[in-house]
Chains A and B, each alone.
Chain A
Amino acid sequence: MKRQIENMNETDPKMQKTTLFSLAKQHRGKLSLSAGLSVLSAALSLIPFYVIYLIALELLAPPIEQSRVWQLVWVFTGAVIGRFLLYYIALVVSHISAFSLLYDLRISLAQRLGELPLGFFSQRTTGSIKKVLSEDVEQIELFIAHHVPDLAAAIVTPIMTIGLFFVLDWRMALAALVPIPIAFVFISRMTQGLDKVTAEYHNSLENMNGTIVEYVRGMPVIKVFNQTVDSFTRFQSSVYGYRELATQITKKMAPPYGYFLALVGSGLFFVLTPGVWLYLRGELSLPLLLLFLILGSGYLLPLPQVIGFGSTISNINEGVGRIDKVLQHPPIEAPAQPRVPERYDVEFRDVGFAYGEKQVLRHINLQVAEGTVTALVGPSGAGKTTMARLIPRFWDIHEGEILIGGINVKEMMPETLMDKVAFVFQDIFMFTDTVYENIRMGLPDVTEADVIAAAQAAQAHEFVEKLPQGYQTVIGEGGQTHISGGEKQRISIARAILKNAPIIILDEATAFADPENEAKIQEAFSQLMHDKTVIVIAHRLSSITDADQIVVINEGQIVERGQHEQLLAKPALYKRLWEAHTAAQDWSFQMEDRRERQKHEG
């Protein structure tokens, strides 16, 4: 029922279908083979009926020849075995092509995801990307593997049967056609005037989904604030709301569909009446009548399957749409004549950048000399992170240009650019793999000594050695060994050290700052930065007072630049930030009585 409802909400199934079929193109051969075998199998399924007809002929014209019966038994056996064998092959072939298609699709999705600007990912949750790769693709398997052979048979069987009727007796064939328009009347009555209710149904479904997500995700908060009853009431009303709409729709749709099912099961009636009449008039032989009757009991049964097919298509439509969106998202353009930088200074020339409507950066001009440290500071939302992320082309800019060694980043191969820039951000990801591989990250021509040296420089060697299997310990979500945030950060710095890129972009992280780790992370940073061009997004101003250049950003523009002392000399934003920062550094938890005491001491 629900599947059929969802079908109705679909506005443009035709277009979606073509995308799906174009996805399946490479496997067209196998799929046609599967459909063809399935149709052959469906044709063989009519043979037993013909055998019954022939036996009836024998029975009604005695004496019965035993050899003839044996002959028919063999024909029957052959037809049954052949039919199931062909169906089995069709199923296996369709599954092979379905699973291969899934594999191809996922690999090309993974490939395309790798070519997309990283900005694509910051607009989406990883959950939604995983959903495309995993669930959306999986739905296609179901569709292709089962529906291609089954649907081929479901469409062909009624057509072949009625075709056979026409060959045998056109009047009977016409009678057999009668229930088909009636069936379609029921189906169209089922769908009539549903649009409004369907929209409401989807709203209530969405509402229930949203409420349930909140109910579960918010449960810790709800419990702490003792509001489980209240929130349960909301949960309850959304569940009831959904049931109410589902009930309404069922009341509307179920009766015609019930009629439809009853009709489909009663094909016999439409054949029996004219058959008996014709037989009594002597215009139809008894064996032939029998043949009509046994074929008549089943020829309509595949119809619900054909109806159901439409809803399955719409079920996967949305998923196919999402897959398409990824596949058709323009990747980072690679230049026709790629260039490779030889120097590693970084320059922003009149760069402007907007996320959609929202202007984030305006007229940014900045020069970062090779081998110097530049700090980006400013209030949150000022645009410092965006600025840093434009250098490795997370997004492409439409105003101005960004140059490395005098070459526009768009003129380099994306791979070259990635080789030249290393970044260490706050959100660190560990793969479920050994520490060794997590540091090596697939870099070619790396020896074990190199990996260990990088780990040592990143202050990671010591703790790695202490892990159960040293460098061979599996970490990451699926691993058995948990490592702390600070340790993860040091591994990510080791990665960057091993990569040895001439330009380094750092997001100064403070979240994992337990004191022991903090000192080590800082030492690791120092090792990493050695002789590199460094751009750091600074949060704690005290750590960047020695930077060669401090760039103060506010509301998407550079408002101040210079060295620490120069900036402090002006009564502007930097000075204000610095004062707030130093005050925060000295803050401590104060209980009233303590304060009193301190006053005395002070």
Chain B
Amino acid sequence: MLNAMQIITGNERKKLNQVTRLNILRFMLDGAPSGFLILVLWELFKPRDEISLFKLMAFIGGMLAALLLTMVVSRTAYSRIHLHAYELTAETRLRLGEHLRRLSMGFYKTHDPGDVTALLLQDMTKVESVFSHIYGDVVAALVTPFVTILFLLFIDWRMALAVIVTAPLAVPVLMLSQKVGAYFAKKQMAARNDSISRMLEYAQGIQDIKAFNLTGAKFQRLDNSLKALREAGIRFEAAIGSLVVTYQMMLELSFTTILLLGTFLLAQGTLDVPTFLIFLVAGYSLYRPLQALAVFLGELRFMSLAAERILKVLDVKPLPEPDIPQAPESFDIEFKNVTFRYGDQDVLQNVSFKIPEKSMTALVGPSGSGKTTITNLIARFWDVNEGDVLVGGQNVQAYTAENLLASMSAIFQDVYLFHDTIYNNIKVGNQNASWEEVIAAAQAAQCHEFVTKLPDGYETVVGEGGSTLSGGEKQRISIARAILKDAPIILLDEATASLDPENEAQIQAAIGQLVQSKTLIVIAHRLSTIANANQILVLEKGSIVERGTHDDLLAADGLYTNLWKQQSRARGWKFSHGRKKEGASQIKTSVEREK
């Protein structure tokens, strides 16, 4: 509960205190009927002729007044606690949102967006309910018995102690149940996570599962993990349930002491019948809230997991920003002995190169060789472990993320479109752009034609993530954004140009428009597209193994030459059973054309 409180209250402890006081008052008032009951009983136990009707009326009237007061306080407390819960949750959502905004792009590359969204939605709702539901319940479960026991101690301390005589035995059991619960919950959580991955796998792989006739229980791994989940679930409940029930039972068995001690003291003459009766009535009503405490604590533990997840993200530090914000003034790029590790894996080792302004550099190499990492480090998605990344002669750490990113556009394979009009989606590139500028960018990016064919043209609203457009269309919108932004550095994954082979030519034309007189860094897959690059860096396992122009590299006869030959061969390959002889000549022609 404490961590949930910590998250949700932040600097607003005071508001919480106010609500807490109101709640304590409300639950003290809950004890009022019992108080008046005791007074009434006291009166009734007197001999018949001494009973004061007036007093009885007064007590009953007092009880009615207490009931009415309880209603008012309960109404206010119940409203307040919810209003505060909503208000504080809203504030906390904003705080977390603000924090997420400051985190580096690296965070978004390494966290599943679904999980991050869940923090802001479901997990926050759980924290909210700690506050709006469980918090009040726990306060009630503690306050009401506390007030009653104080009252009883005042009447007869010996009997009052008897009421809770087994507590020293019961409370350790309660604590043990929390420990045992945490242990089994961890096991259950592991089984649950495993089964969720299996279920996700089943959904994702259904095409293959069907193709290989592996459906239903035949899919052993799913079946096994679901069975394990069933066992873990039953074990968890059986284990924690037994302890919780033992705690509740032990607590209530205190009452036998009241019976025995009461009769003993009565025989001794140190206790009178009315007092004994009051203990029988008031003492017994004490157990119910204390028993409920065990259930609330369980719920609290469950909800706290959500709070822990939120805290973990709140603890992620944003990349440090410089004190004096600067913006790059020139746009050459340099890597000086850069080493970058991810976990304990070296992704880049001692990489150095220079990219002059307004030149084109291509990154080539097998997948996993570090091409994308280089572009990510230029944009400072992460900080390097060793060495320096310079833009415009200054370390990227000297710029604010905002200024650095303002100087570059990145065109990668995954394009995200907002649930908004196409016009606004393009305008993301530059909020100050005029209508004409947006259209001009769309035209340059070869979007105009398909956009004007849509039912509402530029005002057509696209689905979240751009689900209503084809891959090639989304790609061209992202290029239009970049054209509109007109940043001096362009980071580009060449595969985007061949993502949609039917529209290949159009996307290529759009990219051609974008890259004019920019500092261009291309992650290349098809080597033929980068033959004109000023500089080609060939990467293997995180190191630069060759560098130079296309002609230099072909002359060197190294890895690049090898890749080039393979690709030329691949381009001549055909789907056929090889019965047609003409195929061979065709390969030749296409290879020739390459040269």
Contacts and interface: CB of A to CB of B under 8 A. Distances in A.
Interface string B347-368: 0000000000011101001111
Interface stretch (A14-22, A226-234, A447-455): A226-234
Contact of B211 (A108, A111, A240, A418): A418
B212 A443 contact: yes
Contacts of A85: 245
A581 interface: yes
Contacts of B359: 591
A580 B502 CA distance: 8
Contacts of B586: 545-546
A199 interface: no
Interface in B226-268: 226-227, 229-230, 233-234, 237-238, 241-242, 245-246, 248-249, 252-253, 255-256, 259-260, 263, 266-267
A592 B64 CA distance: 91
B203 A547 contact: no
Interface in A51-98: 51-52, 55-56, 59-60, 64, 66, 69-70, 72-73, 76-77, 80-81, 84-85, 87-88, 91-92, 95-96, 98
Interface in A213-227: 213-221, 223-227
Contacts of A577: 502
Interface in B116-138: 116-117, 120-121, 125, 129, 132
A468 interface: no
B30 A81 contact: no
A587 B529 contact: yes
Contact of B44 (A224, A242, A276, A543): A276
**Interface of A: prevailing SS:** helix
A514 B501 contact: no
B503 interface: yes
Interface stretch (A128-136, A316-324, A333-341, A350-358): A128-136
Interface string A497-520: 001000000101011111111110
Interface stretch (B167-175, B277-285, B437-445): B277-285
B78 interface: yes
A254 interface: yes
Contacts of B215: 110-111, 113-115
Interface string A358-402: 000000000000011101000111000000000010000000000
Contacts of A220: 105, 108, 416
7 contacts: A102-B229, A134-B195, A213-B464, A250-B82, A379-B502, A546-B574, A589-B515
A133 to B, nearest CB: 4
Given A95-B233, A418-B211, A486-B367, A64 B266 contact: yes
B409 A91 contact: no
A172 interface: no
Contacts of B121: 208-209, 212
B397 interface: no
B367 A269 contact: no
A202 interface: no
A266 interface: yes
Interface stretch (A26-34, A161-169, A475-483): A475-483
Nearest to A476: B201
A113 B120 contact: no
**Interface of B: prevailing SS:** helix
B86 A515 contact: no
Given A258-B79, A429-B204, A589 B500 contact: no
Given A88-B241, A589-B529, A380 B405 contact: no
B452 interface: no
Contacts of B508: 584, 587
Interface string A568-602: 00000000010011011111111110100010000
B503 A513 contact: no
Given A113-B206, A272-B63, A516 B566 contact: yes
Interface in B423-479: 428-431, 464-465, 470, 472
A559 interface: no
A181 interface: no
B203 A423 contact: no
Interface string B196-231: 110111111111111111111111111100110110
Contacts of A69: 259-260, 263
A110 B481 contact: no
Which 7 A-B pairs rank lowest in CB-CB distance, beginning with the nearest?
A114-B215, A111-B216, A258-B75, A546-B576, A539-B501, A258-B78, A254-B79
A95 B237 contact: yes
User: Of residues A64, A108, A268, which shows the largest number of chain B Cβ atoms within 10 Å of its Cβ?
Assistant: A268
Given A95-B238, A484-B367, A432 B197 contact: yes
A59 B280 CA distance: 11
A139 interface: no
Interface string A413-443: 0010011011101010101110000000111
Contact of A111 (B108, B217, B249, B566): B217
Nearest to B101: A228
B576 to A, nearest CB: 4
B176 interface: no
Contact of A594 (B71, B280, B532, B593): B532
A194 interface: no
Given A518-B567, A530-B577, A415 B213 contact: yes
B70 A56 contact: no
A588 B529 contact: yes
A42 interface: no
Given A250-B79, A418-B210, A431-B201, 18 more contacts: A99-B229, A114-B214, A121-B206, A214-B419, A224-B105, A224-B408, A232-B98, A236-B97, A259-B74, A276-B60, A433-B221, A514-B366, A515-B525, A519-B570, A539-B501, A584-B508, A586-B528, A588-B531
